[in-house]
Amino acid sequence: MLKAPAIFVVAIGITFSLFAFMQFLIASPTSVETKAQPEFDISLYQARQESDVKIKPKLTPPPPMKVKPQRQTHIPSETTKTDSPTFKPMIEFELKTTDAGTDFTKQDGQAQAIVRIPAKYPPVAARDGIEGWVELRFNIDPTGRVIDAEVVNAEPKKVFDKAALKALKRWKYKPKIENGQAQIQYNQSVLLEFNLEQG
pLDDT tens digits, one per residue of 2-54: 566 677 777 788 888 887 778 777 765 554 444 555 555 545 445 445 545 55
* Between 133 and 53, residue with greater pLDDT: 133
List the domains of the chain with CATH numbers.
Answer: 113-196 (3.30.1150.10)
**pLDDT in the model for residue 112:** 87
* Between 96 and 12, residue with greater pLDDT: 12
With 60 as the cut, is the pLDDT of residue 100 above it?
no
What does the pLDDT average to over 124-135? 96
pLDDT tens digits, one per residue of 49-78: 554 555 555 666 666 666 555 555 555 544
With 50 as the cut, is the pLDDT of residue 97 above it?
no
Q: 123 Cβ partners below 8 Å, 6+ apart?
A: 91
Cα–Cα–Cα angle for 182, 185, 190, rounded to 5 degrees: 135
With 60 as the cut, is the pLDDT of residue 85 above it?
no
**pLDDT in the model for residue 17:** 82
Q: How many CB atoms lie within 10 A of CB 48?
A: 10
Work out the pLDDT band at 127, boundaries 50, 70, 90: very high
Handedness of CA 15, 19, 20, 24 (dihedral sign): positive
Q: 160 Cβ partners below 8 Å, 6+ apart?
A: 119, 122, 125, 132, 133, 134, 154, 192, 194
Q: Identify the burial level of 168 via C-beta atoms within 10 angstroms of its C-beta, where 0-12 means exposed, 13-18 middle and 19 or more buried.
A: buried
pTM: 0.46
Q: Report the percent of the chain where pLDDT is more than 90.
A: 42
